[in-house]
Structure 1
Amino acid sequence: MSAPTGFSYSTRRNGSVVIFFANKVATTLKGQRAAKFLADIDAGDEQLVMAKWTGNFKRGNERSLKKSNGLRTRR
Structure 2
Amino acid sequence: MGNIDRRSRLDEEPFSYRVTKNNTVFIEYYGKQVKTLKGKDGEKFLKKMNAAENEKEEQLIMAKVTGNFKRGNER
TM-score of the aligned structures, taking structure 2 as reference length: 0.71
Partner of 2:66 in structure 1? 54
Q: Does 1:36 align with 2:44?
A: yes
- In the alignment, structure 1 residue 10 sits paired with structure 2 residue 18: yes
**Cα RMSD (Å) of the superposition?**
2.4
The answer to which structure has the higher helix fraction is 2
Are 1:9 and 1:18, in contact at CA under 8 Å, matched by a contact in 2?
yes
- AA partner of residue 16 (structure 2): S
Q: Which runs of 5+ in 2 are unaligned?
A: 1-5
The structure with the larger Rg is 1
Instruction: Structure 1 unaligned segments of length 5 or more: list them.
Output: 65-75
The equivalent residue for 1:22 is 30
Q: Is the 8 A contact 1:26 1:54 kept in 2?
A: yes
1:37-62 Cα distance to aligned partner (Å, 9 max, x none): 00111112211110011010588886
TM-score by length of 1: 0.71
Q: How many residue pairs end up in the alignment?
A: 63
Name the SS for the 2:23 alignment partner. coil
**Distance in 2 of aligned mates of 1:28 and 1:16:** 7
Instruction: State the percentage of identical aligned residues.
Output: 49
